[in-house]
Amino acid sequence: MVAYAWLVPLLPLAAYVFLLVLGRRAPEGVAAGVSVVCSLASFLVSAAVFRAAASQGPVGPYLFHWLTLGSASISFGFEVTRLNALMILVVSLVSTLVLLYSAGYMHGDERFPVFYQYLNLFVFSMLALVLSPNLLQLYIFWEMVGLCSYLLVGFWYFKPEAALAAKKSFIVTRIGDTGLLIGIVLLYWASGSFDYSTVFAAAGAGQWSLGWVSGQELTTLCALLVFLGAVGKSAQFPLHVWLPDAMEGPTPVSALIHAATMVAAGVYLVARCYPLFQASPGALATVAWIGAITALLAALIALTQRDIKRVIAYSTVSQLGYMMLALGVGAYAYGVFHLMTHAFFKALLFLAAGSVIHAVDTQDLFEMGGLYRKLPLTAWTFLAGALALAGVVPFAGFWSKDDILAAALNTGHPVLWGMLLLAAFCTAFYIFRVYFLVFTGAPRQPERWQHAHEGSWVMTLPLLVLAAMATIAGFFNSPLNGDGLEHFLFADSPQHQIGYTAPENVPLMLLSLLVALLGIGLAAAVYWRPRQSQRPERWARAWGPFYTLSYRKFYLDEVYYAALVYTGKGIAAVVDWIDRYVIDALVRVVGRLVYSVSVLLKFSQTGQVQAYSTVAALGVLVLVAWAMLRAGGVH
Amino acid sequence: MGLALWMVLVPVLAAFVCVLVPARQACVQRGLALAGSVITLLLALLAWLRFPGAVQAGGGANPAAAGVPLVSHLPWFTLPGLWQQQDVTVGLSFGLDGLSLTLAGLTALLALLAAAAVRPEEAEMRRFALWSQLAAAGAIAAFTALDVLTFFAGLELSLFAGFFLIDLSGDPQRRAAAVKYLLYRGLASVLLLLALFGIAYGVAGGYSSLQPDANGNLPGAPAFTLAWPALQHNLHGLSTAVFPDHARAVLFWVLLLGILVEEAFVPFHTWLPTAHEHTSAPVSMLLGGVLTKTGAYALLRFGAGLLPDQLQHFATWVAVLGTINILYGAFAAWAQRDWRRLIAFGSISHMGLVLLATAAGNAAGLQGAMFMMVSSGLLTAFLFFLAGAVQARTQTAELGRLGGLSRPLPLLSGFWLVAALGALGLPLTSGFVSEIQSFIGSFHRFPAISFVAALGLILSAVYLLYAIQQTTFGPLRPEYASLADAQARELWPAVVLTAVVLWVGVYPNGLGQVLGQTVQQLLQMGG
């Protein structure tokens, strides 16, 4: 079965090509139907591959020749490992649900078939990314998912904000991607190959060098460059600024690309390259610290945002930070586990938010309220997602987040643990702030509330499936299931070589649960009861500067704009000035000079034979004189 | 056999027929230009098919064509007593090795697409057909010539044809731009001529100064030759005692200077944006796509091919020059407000990578440089084609006056995005394959310089996406609401270019096998 894993990305590709041929006039039903069927088939094949991988372990790679470089050969192909078997399962499941949901959400959009083209291209690229057997192929699809993100963020191209956000997302991630590309090139020269296995074998041995850097330093340099790519794609601090802006795209895109799959690719990359990171303690520590800083920073920003999608987007940034931290402290399995549970509950939150936006046609939290009575199904499913995100037992996020917290403390990182615990408190607060503002209380804008209604079954069915997953997916690696995911991931490495796992620690579990409940309680106290509706404003006033700092996202956008964009534009302007007024001016001066000399010479061209022959005679005289004096006579 | 010769002759014949047909029959003229290019392109494809077999069979025994798989040889004229009373015969000799074949094919392809892109209102068809065919013939001759003098003949033909092409547009400043072009590249030709004749005389002089061995035989003193395969072979065996290093170094710098002017490298580049700004799109396609690639060709053929030791010795200089070009071109492109100038500076930035990769001197770098020449040619032509198609509708190429074009022109906007993504090196396009190979090569030899040069990867995304955002994204401007999107007649060049760009990007080995033959040959010379 594993040998047919190429079908997994190929089915969405087939759907893409089919829709491309049909063009932009394809009927909505055909576009959505073909896409959902192909994606569903892809999910079924993924499930079969997953079963096979669970029993057989890693298989592959299957390769064919792509390019010759001197004596080296670069191949293309696919491989199935335990990690990517899990990834294709999650990606194809979420993709299928989002493709189904989009049929309702995008209904009536004039570029409906184009939207499905892009989504299929994305699903193909994402699946091909995780099935790649070497770093170069990973990079190729890494850029392809970035392209799809660009196209989909800018899908409503006529909105200037969407156009700006699309460009920003591409360029900011491109900064990380350039680091990744350099890292891949250096790894190639150090190990002689792009293949994971060869690279990691060389990294593990540590006996490598490039002439100008060697051994441990080379390992650390390469790991950090690869991590830079992950920082860009997974929106980690300091390159996280693109993800909240990317919310300008349609909400299904936010759910699929900017929550469940593409942004998790950075986490997948670090997990896939884990042997490289393990060979460098410095790189691992960097991953852990960046993860913790991101988790806390984004959670603090999410506290005060007014746009429902931006709150969830910052939440995504924050949760990706948790995953990075897990990988950084050595808890490989927990990072992957959180990636999986997060994919479900965050896709759910976005799709539920999309259902709300679809119903009331605004994204401002303070224009909603009381929607529980209009959208009960959305409210219940959102609640499941919120509980999972906040980490309330027994929802999915509880198990994975708790594992990460325990791992941070047990591996001797109390400061990081403290940061995460604070972030967990913020998480519970901000997501229930959203819940109470949207679904409870009185409608703040009755006319919007009046027209609100649930979407059709294509929108509610994915919500229900994802709500079920957000509720139960955590049991996959809970003690109740005997830590099934760990056993699945580590089955081929008996001594748990590729990462730390911790025994369950009940007091810690209770502590993190308590923190989550405190956050929910505070949110309820501030936002739930209508008679306390004045309180949020008072809070904001009391915390004045901090509130502003959070609301303005710590001014990082402004700082970057001043530091990078202005500098770059300044250099560009200087270069352009030099080009016009120094180089080209010099050229013109030389041109004038030549011209004026020729103007002078022009006067010698009198056209009079007498003048010419006089000059010629003079010349002969001079030559003869020179010959007599110098050479002693004329022969 | 004879394929190479016919690839030069067919466009010349087409141009000749153009002269005979009355100018008012514009359709016939266009048909002639298309037919000439199609036949040349088919010849190139035929050579492409025969190429692997010809490589296996090995080059001919003739030293003037050693190592070149597909050769056609004709004596052309004799220069009596050019060197020590020997007569030197200049051959009308053309050969197709991997690099020559690829560039000749690219020339034919772009000549075809440019002829399809001409708008009757923009340029008189007969003059365009005539000069574009002659320019193509000249460029193909330069790319395939086995003889230095034939190379110059081709170069000069394309130079003058290019001058008349630039002069075709209706722009008031076209004449000044054309003269600037002519002066710069004329200077470049002089420098290249000096360097190459210097090398030829240096080799012949070097051999004639060798002492006879014990048996009184001169050690294989070859006749004076102007054929580069023979020069390459002779140079390879010539010690620095008789052709001293300092002489080679001087010749190398003269050659490099000529290349810098020819290829419009900073600071000798200002003629290129000016020329593109003041000429019409089909001419820009030819000019930016192939006519300016002769400098990079000379760098690989004569720099890396004839003076590999000097190139290695001054490699750091060349790499720094390349990096300056990458960054200067990218920043300058960012500052431009006119698409045509932006594309011109972007191509300067791309060609800077060719310098850097060639300086690296390894297989990846040389192959990357060749891929980059092809990719830059394709994508530069593609972008100019689109800028021209849009300009014909909006009457402007200024970023500030465009915007929201995706709505009235979805197809053209889509292709524009494809071309821009290719130019910024998106994977599965030719741009990526070129950049990754070039950087693989350069990071091996110049890690520090390459780190700086890699900034160009970010900058190319910045200036291209900024320009795209200004052009096709954003709210629709009312004055453009009723523009008509491209029809089939206008679209097929875009489809062809997209197909080729994707073909190189998705399956690079097809092109890599052909270019690899030249790479291997150059590596043998250097090693």
CA distance A137 to B352: 26
Residue of B nearest to A585 (CA): B270
* Domain boundaries defined on chain B: 314-527
Residue B80 parent element (H or E): strand B75-83
Task: Determine if the pTM surpasses 0.90.
Answer: yes
> Cβ contact (<8 Å) for A575 and B328?
yes
Q: Which of A25, A66, A68 to mutate to test the interface with B (most CBs of B within 10 A)?
A: A68
CA distance B271 to A438: 62
User: Which residues of chain A lie closer than 8 angstroms to B448, CB-CB?
Assistant: 212
CB atoms within 10 A of CB A347: 30
Q: How far is CA A193 from the centre of its chain?
A: 26
Give the gap in angstroms from C-alpha B184 to the nearest C-alpha of chain A.
10
For residue A630 the two structure tokens come to 């110098």
Of A75-79, A588-592, B207-211, least confident by mean pLDDT is B207-211
Residue of A nearest to B405 (CA): A158
Q: Cis peptide before A61, with omega less than 30 degrees from 0? A: yes
Of A124-128, A178-182, A331-335, least confident by mean pLDDT is A331-335
Nearest Cβ partner for A163 among B458, B459, B469: B469
> Cβ contact (<8 Å) for B331 and A182?
no
> Cβ contact (<8 Å) for B427 and A67?
no
Residue range A562-584: average pLDDT? 89
Residue ranges of chain B whose pLDDT lies below 70: 1, 58-64, 122, 210-223, 526-527
User: Which residues of chain A lie closer than 8 angstroms to B407, CB-CB?
Assistant: 158
Q: Which residues of B498-516 are buried (b: 16+ CB within 10 A; e: fewer)?
A: bebbeebbbbbbebbebbb
Nearest Cβ partner for A583 among B270, B426, B459: B270
pLDDT > 70 fraction of chain A, expressed in percent and rounded:
95
Q: Which residues have CB under 8 Å from B46's CB, separation 6+?
A: B3
User: Which residues of chain A lie closer than 8 angstroms to B510, CB-CB?
Assistant: none
pLDDT higher than 90, residue A461: yes
Give the gap in angstroms from C-alpha B358 to the nearest C-alpha of chain A.
14
Higher model confidence: residue A524 or residue B318?
A: B318
> Cβ contact (<8 Å) for B443 and A185?
yes
pLDDT value of residue A455: 82
pLDDT value of residue A565: 87
pLDDT value of residue B46: 93
User: Which residues of chain A lie closer than 8 angstroms to B516, CB-CB?
Assistant: 68
Q: What tens digit of pLDDT does each residue of A618-628 get?
A: 999 998 888 78
Residue of A nearest to B336 (CA): A576
For residue A157 the two structure tokens come to 């191209």
pLDDT value of residue A441: 81
Residue of A nearest to B335 (CA): A572
Q: Which of A20, A65, A67 to mutate to test the interface with B (most CBs of B within 10 A)?
A: A67
pLDDT higher than 80, residue A481: no
Helix locations, A552-608, DSSP H: 556-560, 567-578, 584-602
Q: How far is CA B288 from the centre of its chain?
A: 8
> Cβ contact (<8 Å) for A178 and B472?
no
Residue B108 parent element (H or E): helix B98-117
> Cβ contact (<8 Å) for A144 and B428?
yes
> Cβ contact (<8 Å) for B466 and A167?
yes
Give the closest residue to A256 by CA, choosing from A79, A95, A496, A442: A95
User: Which residues of chain A lie closer than 8 angstroms to B270, CB-CB?
Assistant: 579, 583-584, 587
User: Which residues of chain A lie closer than 8 angstroms to B457, CB-CB?
Assistant: 174, 177-178, 181
Residue of B nearest to A174 (CA): B458
Nearest Cβ partner for B512 among A67, A171, A584: A67
> Cβ contact (<8 Å) for A143 and B476?
no
pLDDT value of residue B99: 94
User: Which residues of chain B lie closer than 8 angstroms to A177, CB-CB?
Assistant: 457
Give the gap in angstroms from C-alpha A480 to the nearest C-alpha of chain B.
45
pLDDT value of residue B120: 74
Nearest Cβ partner for B512 among A68, A157, A186: A68
The C-alpha angle A35, A258, A381, rounded to 5 degrees, equals 80
Residue range A555-582: average pLDDT? 89
Could you tell me the pLDDT band of residue A300, with boundaries at 50, 70 and 90?
very high
Give the closest residue to A323 by CA, choosing from A349, A345, A291, A275: A291
User: Which residues of chain A lie closer than 8 angstroms to B269, CB-CB?
Assistant: 583
Residue of B nearest to A24 (CA): B410
Give the closest residue to A560 by CA, choosing from A166, A171, A163, A143: A171
pLDDT higher than 60, residue A194: yes
Q: What tens digit of pLDDT does each residue of B164-221 get?
A: 999 888 788 888 899 999 999 999 999 999 999 999 888 888 877 766 666 655 555 5
Could you tell me the pLDDT band of residue A593, with boundaries at 50, 70 and 90?
confident
pLDDT value of residue A534: 53
Residue of B nearest to A187 (CA): B440
pLDDT higher than 80, residue A456: yes
Q: What tens digit of pLDDT does each residue of A307-317 get?
A: 999 999 999 99
> Cβ contact (<8 Å) for A579 and B466?
no
Instruction: Report residue B239: phi and psi, to 5°.
Output: -75, 160
Give the closest residue to B377 by CA, choosing from B281, B286, B495, B272: B286
Of A403-417, A537-551, A600-614, B56-70, least confident by mean pLDDT is B56-70
pLDDT higher than 90, residue A482: no
If you count residue pairs, one on A and one on B, with CB atoms under 8 Å apart, how many are there? 136
Q: Which residues of B410-445 are buried (b: 16+ CB within 10 A; e: fewer)?
A: bbbbbbbbbbbbbbbbbbbbbbbbbbbbbbbbbbbb
pLDDT value of residue A595: 81
Place of tokens 């730390």: A500
Residue of A nearest to B461 (CA): A171
Nearest Cβ partner for B367 among A65, A69, A171: A69
pLDDT value of residue B218: 57
Residue of A nearest to B422 (CA): A147
| Residue B316 and residue B349 in contact, taking contact as beta carbons nearer than 8 Å | no
Q: What tens digit of pLDDT does each residue of A210-258 get?
A: 888 878 889 999 999 999 999 999 999 899 999 999 999 999 999 999 9
